[in-house]
Amino acid sequence: MRVSIVGGGIAGLTCALSLHAAGFQPRVSEAARTIEAVGVGINLLPHAVRELAEFGLVDELAAISVPPHRLAYHDRAGEPVWTEPLGLTAGYRWPQYSVHRGRLHLMLLTAVRERLGPDCVRTGLAFRDLEQTRDGVRAHFLDRMSGAPTVEDADVLIGSDGIDSVVRARLHPDEGTSRWNGVHMWRGVARHPHILDGRSIVVAGGTPGAKFVAYPIEDPPAPDGDALLNWVLEVRHGRSAEPLDRSHRRVTTAEARAGLADWSLPWIDPATLVERSSTILEYPMLDRDPLPRWSFGRVTLLGDAAHPMFPMGMNGGSQSIVDARVLAWCLARDHDPVAALNRYDHMRRPVVNAIVLANRNLGPEEIIARAAEHGGPLPVARAERIANTYKELAGTTVTQVNTHPSWTIPLHAQNPTHPKTSEPSTTDAIELPTAPPRTKT
């Protein structure tokens, strides 16, 4: 079966590895001309680490990551309001990892090229449109190097091209733009002495737009040295009649220093953090409304293309990895790719749609928001109820992660060969929405 993946980010590369482990040989097309180690920190929760471990990447991940042991909520004065264990400390069979997004991206890219071949990821190909028949899909790209149009024929096409997915826009042409909650995130990475026990993810403040987050993503290179620390300051700007700036503008040192001036956090030095951050960028906090459908015939969505969500609960990237594993499992178990994509849709979409909506209502960070309103820590039973309800919704309780059956397909059960080998037919076309597709800028 020929599988084409649009988008070579974390979700797309994990999808390629998952499909390869299930017996397929997919190809990845990425719009960027080069794939580089850019970005800031990301957390992979135990349910995602389990999936990476099952196709043999846990040692590589551990080498570039830090396993946090606890989540610590604090108020604006730095006083604790709630803590809970994470990863192995919480009883999971797999750790949680905090890692630089760019290093994770390159780790996955290396694994894909080693396992699938050096030419399986093609860069500089911007997706433009698709057409499908009952027998296949033809994807249209623009080669950004030459300016020439190019096509790829496949049995299945997977849109993994992020929150501004062009594949999603083709399937849902009337959807419109992403949804902004009025919050901007100022994000940076800096060398800084370990905070608290050196293994904590710290969230201070209250509601979105009034929060500060920090956690290490690399240990000091020498004893008593400084750790590489990921940090986020959430701010609210007055809404403007101008279009939302999506350029990830550079925040000046003076701006960042002023933004942190009224925070009193005794376990961190904001001035040092700002001064040591080579680049501080501004990201609007965005999501999209849950979709009623991801799969149309032989085309489906995955990761942020399917379910972009506000970053509450550290769940977006982890759920994308689970998407990839479930999708590969479905395709490997069914001769009919249309039926397989529908099964994947029915298995994953209700779960992550519910997480998208829960994150709009603060997800587990409702604990810190309610504590700010309350003027101090919540009763333990109430805080535990909020935390556990979210984990159960997301399928990430200790019991759920440790005991669910593996998505790995045994070799004797793999069915990667589809009987059709000819080019897609120009007859019997499957009808898709007809509005013109959006293009990336």
Q: What DSSP string describes 97-151? A: EEEEHHHHHHHHHHHHHHHH-TTSEEESEEEEEEEEBSS-EEEEEEETTT--EEE
pLDDT per residue of the chain (441 residues) written in tens, 0 to 9: 999 999 999 999 999 999 999 999 999 999 998 888 788 999 999 999 999 999 899 999 999 999 999 999 999 999 999 999 999 999 999 999 999 999 999 999 999 999 999 999 999 999 999 999 888 999 999 999 999 999 999 999 999 999 999 999 999 999 989 999 999 999 999 999 989 999 999 999 988 899 999 999 998 887 778 999 999 999 997 776 677 888 889 999 999 999 999 898 999 988 899 999 989 999 999 999 999 999 999 999 999 999 999 999 999 999 999 999 999 999 999 999 999 999 999 999 999 999 999 999 999 999 999 999 988 999 999 999 999 999 999 999 999 999 999 999 876 556 544 433 333 333 334 445 544 333 333
Residues 47, 318 contacting (CB under 8 angstroms)? yes
What is the structure's pLDDT at 419? 37
The span from the CA of 334 to the CA of 1, in Å, is 11
**What phi, psi does 66 have (nearest 5°)?**
-125, 130
The span from the CA of 41 to the CA of 230, in Å, is 6
Q: What angle do CA 359, 100, 125 make, to 5 degrees?
A: 85
The span from the CA of 290 to the CA of 306, in Å, is 8
CB-based contacts of 403, cutoff 8 Å, min separation 6: none
Longest dimension (CA), the chain: 68
Pairing of strands 121-123, 27-30: parallel
Please give the DSSP secondary-structure letter assigned to residue 19. Answer: H
Task: Give 337-345 contacts, CB < 8 A, sequence gap 24+.
Answer: 337/1, 337/155, 337/156, 337/298, 337/418, 338/295, 338/297, 338/298, 341/156, 341/295, 341/297, 341/298, 341/299, 341/300, 342/295, 344/294, 344/295, 344/300, 345/293, 345/294, 345/295, 345/300
What is the structure's pLDDT at 183? 95
The span from the CA of 30 to the CA of 48, in Å, is 23
SS3 (DSSP) at 300:
strand
What is the structure's pLDDT at 413? 58
- pTM (predicted TM-score): 0.91
Q: What angle do CA 15, 20, 25 make, to 5 degrees?
A: 100
